Amino acid sequence: MESMARPLGKIHADAAWFARATELQLLYVRTSADLGDPAIGVVMAQENHADNKSLWFRFDDPDGAPSPAWTARGRRLYAQFSDKRKGLVAAGIAIADVGPEPQPQASGLAFFSAVLGKVLDALVAPLSGVVLVFSPVRVEKESRLVSEVPVLVRTLFPRGVRIVVVERDTRFLAGLPAVVGPESLSCEALVDPDALAADMAAFAGVAEPGAPALPETRWRGPGAGPDVVPPPRVGALPATSDEALAAAGLSPAYVNGGAERLKELVVGAALLLRAGKQREAIRMQADAANLCESFAMPRLQIVNLMVLASYCQAAQAPAKAIEVYQKASALAIQHGQLDQAAQIELGLGSTDVREKHPELAIVHYRKAAELAEQAKLPSLAIEAWRMAGQLAVDHGSTDAAITAWTRALAVAGHLPPEEAKGTSAAEVARGLAVVLRKKNLHVQADSMEETSCRLEHGMPPGTPVARA
pLDDT at 334 over 50: yes
pLDDT at 96 over 80: yes
Do 182 and 198 fall into the same domain? no
Do 168 and 198 fall into the same domain? no
Q: Which domain holds residue 409?
A: 337-468
Say how far apart CA 116 and CA 148 lie, in whole Å: 16
Going by pLDDT thresholds of 50, 70 and 90, the confidence category of residue 100 is confident
The answer to whether position 236 is within a domain reads: no
N-to-C CA span, the chain: 49
pLDDT tens digits for 396-420? 889 999 999 999 999 999 999 989 9
Do 180 and 44 fall into the same domain? yes
Do 350 and 270 fall into the same domain? no
Q: What is the mean pLDDT of the chain?
A: 85
The number of C-alpha atoms within 13 Å of 37 and in the hemisphere containing its C-beta is 0
CATH number at residue 184: 3.40.50.12060
Closest-CA residue to 379 (of 423, 410, 340): 423
The number of C-alpha atoms within 13 Å of 188 and in the hemisphere containing its C-beta is 7
- Report pLDDT for 287: 94
Better pLDDT: 172 or 17? 17
Say how far apart CA 150 and CA 178 lie, in whole Å: 10
pLDDT at 232 over 70: no
Say how far apart CA 313 and CA 278 lie, in whole Å: 10
Region of 337 (left: φ > 0; alpha: ψ -120 to 50; beta: rest) is beta
CA 428 distance to own-chain centroid = 19
Say how far apart CA 102 and CA 114 lie, in whole Å: 7
Say how far apart CA 94 and CA 86 lie, in whole Å: 10
- Report pLDDT for 172: 86
Cβ atoms of 258 and 251 closer than 8 Å: yes
How many C-beta neighbours within 10 Å does residue 161 have? 20
- Report pLDDT for 75: 87
Strand-pair partners of 132: 57, 163
Do 31 and 60 fall into the same domain? yes
The answer to whether position 117 is within a domain reads: yes
The C-alpha R_g of the chain, in whole angstroms, comes to 27
Q: How far is CA 451 from CA 1, 424, 456, 458, in A?
A: 44, 13, 9, 10
The answer to whether position 235 is within a domain reads: no
The answer to whether position 228 is within a domain reads: no
Better pLDDT: 100 or 28? 28
Give me the mean pLDDT over the 211-222 stretch: 49
- Report pLDDT for 65: 41
- Report pLDDT for 262: 87
* Helix intervals (H) in 91-191: 108-122, 145-156, 176-180
What backbone torsions phi and psi does residue 133 show, to the nearest 5 degrees? -105, 110
The answer to whether position 75 is within a domain reads: yes
The answer to whether position 230 is within a domain reads: no
Do 180 and 202 fall into the same domain? no
Percentage of the chain surpassing pLDDT 70?
A: 84
Listed residues 191, 218, 242: the one ending a domain: 191
- Report pLDDT for 107: 75
Cβ atoms of 71 and 108 closer than 8 Å: yes
The answer to whether position 331 is within a domain reads: no
Cβ atoms of 385 and 411 closer than 8 Å: yes
Q: What is the signed CA dihedral for 8, 9, 12, 13, rounded to 10 degrees?
A: -150
Do 278 and 145 fall into the same domain? no
Cβ atoms of 433 and 392 closer than 8 Å: no
Say how far apart CA 373 and CA 210 lie, in whole Å: 46
Do 306 and 365 fall into the same domain? no
- Report pLDDT for 404: 96
- Report pLDDT for 214: 44
Give the chain's domain count.
3
Give me the mean pLDDT over the 366-376 stretch: 96
Strand-pair partners of 54: 129
Going by pLDDT thresholds of 50, 70 and 90, the confidence category of residue 466 is low
The answer to whether position 242 is within a domain reads: no
Listed residues 315, 347, 368: the one ending a domain: 315
Residue 221 DSSP one-character state? -
Those residues with Cβ within 8 angstroms of residue 366's Cβ, 6 or more apart along the chain or in another chain: 384, 385, 388, 404
Do 177 and 204 fall into the same domain? no
Do 165 and 196 fall into the same domain? no
Do 264 and 182 fall into the same domain? no
- Report pLDDT for 236: 59
Do 16 and 95 fall into the same domain? yes
Those residues with Cβ within 8 angstroms of residue 270's Cβ, 6 or more apart along the chain or in another chain: 200, 281
Range from 46-50, 144-148, 353-357, 424-428 carrying the lowest mean pLDDT:
144-148
Better pLDDT: 437 or 214? 437
pLDDT at 106 over 50: yes
pLDDT at 133 over 90: yes
CATH number at residue 415: 1.25.40.10
Listed residues 264, 280, 315: the one ending a domain: 315
Q: How far is CA 120 from CA 99, 116, 140, 195, 305, in A?
A: 13, 6, 31, 44, 55
- Report pLDDT for 195: 67
- Report pLDDT for 170: 83
pLDDT tens digits for 172-207? 888 899 999 999 999 988 777 666 666 555 655 555
Say how far apart CA 46 and CA 439 lie, in whole Å: 51
Q: What share of the chain is helix, strand, coil (3-state, %, to 5)?
A: 60, 5, 30
